[in-house]
Amino acid sequence: MSSVLARSIATITALFIAQSAISEESVELQQVFITGGANEIQTQPGSATLIDEMALEQFEYTDIHRVLNEVPGINLQEEDGYGLRPNIGMRGSSPERSKKVTIMEDGILSGPAPYSAPAAYYFPNVSRMSAVEVFKGPSAIQYGPATVAGAVNLVSRAIPYAPEGELDLQLGSYEFKRLNAYYGEQVGDFGYVVEALHASTTGFKDLDVSEFDDLGTGFERNDFSLKTSYDINGEYRQRVTLKLGYADEQSNETYVGLSKDDFDADPFRRYAASALDNMQWEHTQFQLTHVFEPSLTSTVTTDVYRNDFQRDWFKLNGFNGSSIPSIEEILKHPTTGSNSSYYEVLTGERNTTSSATELLVGNNGREFISQGIQTKFNSDVFAFGLPHELEVGVRLHMDEIKRHHTEQSYDMTDSGLKVTTGSSLLTTKVNKGEAQALAVYIKDDIKIDETTFSLGLRSETIETTLSDASFSESKESTESVLVPGAGVFTQLTENFGLLAGIHKGYVATAPGQEGDIEPEESINSEFGFRLNGKYNVEVVAYINDYSNLKESCNASNGCSTAQLDSEFNGGEVLVYGVESHMKTEHEIAPAMSIPFSVTYTFTQTEFENSFVDQSGVFKTKGETVEVGDQLAYVPAHRLNIKTGLQTEKWQLMLNALYQGEMRTDAGQGSIADEDKIDAYMVLDLAANYQVLPELKIYSTVDNLLGEEYLVAAQPMGYRPGKPRAIHLGAKYQF
């Protein structure tokens, strides 16, 4: 890695030498969104969405899935009903653990190990965010490491200029409690904001037995953050910002779902065999940012960051024996042959009577580190007779994952789990994956009259290593890639503009993969229009043409322990569709209006080659993926409508989500019942009233009609969406 480190130091040094040579008067430093804010989005040569603080406060969602429902081009897969471990996809990419999407907080990679283990088992608490940005197409290539789908940036609370604080208390169904408090101010050149968040619930699922479960089937989360800044006044204006964070979670969540008959009878039931399933994690965050403005038209921003994440994930793995069917297979066919005996053990109806009916409970213990330094130089320049908005950036990033997986056998005894007499704790996997990446990019927005051309190029070199006790030596690999992109936006009239773009999509291989595993690569193009005025409309058609679609085995998609973290080639796949969004507001009386927005996404997918799926990540293991098969867990239709009635003092809002049917396995034609997630519609209601200038009360109802709906059939059986949940809250500002 010495060569990569040397190149990074040289590049960073060159940037600082270049900007130090500029001498202009200082200007006020400002907080800037990655998207540039709502006004910049209107003329951006690429698809972007900003959900600001006002929009986040309308429904007071704590689940990022519900927040993102109003974003066009998004495909989501619910899992636990609370968004603890989100599954976010874009433009038909796999939503599983958000591994194909670049997730950031304040422009910093937030995943536990974005290169060496991209599955995002940690996700920042959206409750403490002031905005969420989503961008796709050529706009996303500068962030990486995944550039096929897009990126999500969560914007944390800014340091307030004047003394400001807030106490937010929310109570609700299933003993839900959320307490969020912050306070901050600017004192001379020094500023700070401190924030604390607690959220907990006993959960909406009912265990067959609960003697092991103090929290029911719910969770408890805590999150603390401190952000400080100091302005350095001199010949050049500078600001240094330090952000520190700590978060933890204990959740009694499980991968074990239900058989179809049990789901139809009671979708919120949980089997006795899942009683010990529990996730415990801790996350610490460090970010030091230096912003330097050498001139009126240029800025240099440098971040040094480190995120540490440690988890213990206790979960039911299966039965004791190599020839015994998987839990997934048992729940698909609970009455077939010997499956009925194993099914009765899962439900607690039958006690363990032999080693074959012993249950294996494992701990997928892991430790993650994600750290690096990045700097970017932004400047407005005039060259070749044209104005340019130039951005040059470099990032040296290192991350790692240490796996220590263990397993022990348990007996089902009178509907409870007890350690099998004489069994010992076995180690099933110990390894360490590491990745070191140097990324350099340049982006140039060129303005010609009312047309903006955006040209971008990202170069990345990634070195990975997997060390395992079973290997005679470590597995090492190096990938280098150039990711170009180009976009254009032209304002044809005062209110109407066209946009188009094309870029290369790329997802690197994880450490330790077999030699025939290829990176994920695609050519992505888009074309659309924007209409501004009384109605703000954006419609974009897109095509993602994959030369190789790659998927990985995780416990969350039902892979076996032996194949865990392995990747598999899917070959050529075509994804295309249309994403659209319209927003307006009608005044019906003085100081009274009806806001209205609608988002619709249409997506089509198809494999362009045939192969036998030996992994089970695309189709049932051992079956053939045929030309024309559609991808699993990508609905053709997603529609979200938000409307209501509002005045200066109160607001009443209704949100309706419709998601069309989707497949649980790759296939084509009509979908068989056993391979289908049915279409569903969910309504959410929210109301708030400003009692005093400093006091607001609010109420929300998730799933107003109490719809019982299926969201997934993996990794082990059928899983429900969130039932009706009523919440009451109050915000007091001081």
- Residue of 549, 608, 601 lying closest to 577 (CA atoms): 601
Helices (H), 335-449: 339-347
Q: Residues 359, 364, 365, CA angle at the centre, nearest 5°?
A: 135
- Residue of 273, 281, 362, 345 lying closest to 562 (CA atoms): 362
Residues 6+ apart with CB under 8 A from 37: 50
CATH number of the domain where residue 503 is located = 2.40.170.20
Q: Residues 727, 284, 507, CA angle at the centre, nearest 5°?
A: 90
Burial of 624 (0-12, 13-18, 19+ CB in 10 A): exposed
Helices (H), 243-312: 260-265
What is the domain count for the chain?
1
Q: What is the pLDDT of residue 26?
A: 33
Which two three-digit tokens encode residue 579?
Answer: 């994403």
Cis bond before residue 86 (omega within 30° of 0): no
Q: What is the pLDDT of residue 405?
A: 94
CB 147 within 8 A of CB 108: no
Q: What is the pLDDT of residue 214?
A: 59
Q: What is the DSSP-derived secondary structure letter of residue 471? A: S
Phi, psi of 342 (to 5 degrees): -65, -40
What are the average pLDDT values for consecutive 10-residue runs of the chain, which has 734 residues? 45 41 36 66 85 95 97 94 95 92 94 91 94 87 88 94 96 97 96 98 90 75 97 91 97 95 97 95 97 93 98 95 88 93 95 94 96 96 92 97 96 91 92 96 94 94 90 86 95 95 93 88 96 95 96 72 80 97 95 97 97 88 94 97 97 98 95 93 98 97 97 93 98 96
In the block, tokens 């929300």 appear at 700
Which two three-digit tokens encode residue 362?
Answer: 């494992």
In the block, tokens 């004791």 appear at 320
Rounded to whole angstroms, how far apart are CA atoms 545 and 266? 42
Rounded to whole angstroms, how far apart are CA atoms 11 and 4? 11
Q: What is the pLDDT of residue 211?
A: 63
Rounded to whole angstroms, how far apart are CA atoms 608 and 624? 13
Q: What is the pLDDT of residue 54?
A: 93
Enclosing domain of residue 115? 2-733
N residues, the chain: 734
Residues 6+ apart with CB under 8 A from 541: 526, 527, 528, 576, 577, 578
**Residues forming a β-bridge with 667:** 630
Q: Residues 168, 82, 114, CA angle at the centre, nearest 5°?
A: 100
- Residue of 365, 403, 105, 85 lying closest to 249 (CA atoms): 85
Determine how many CB atoms are found less than 10 A away from the CB of residue 59: 25
End-to-end CA distance of the chain: 51
Burial of 333 (0-12, 13-18, 19+ CB in 10 A): middle
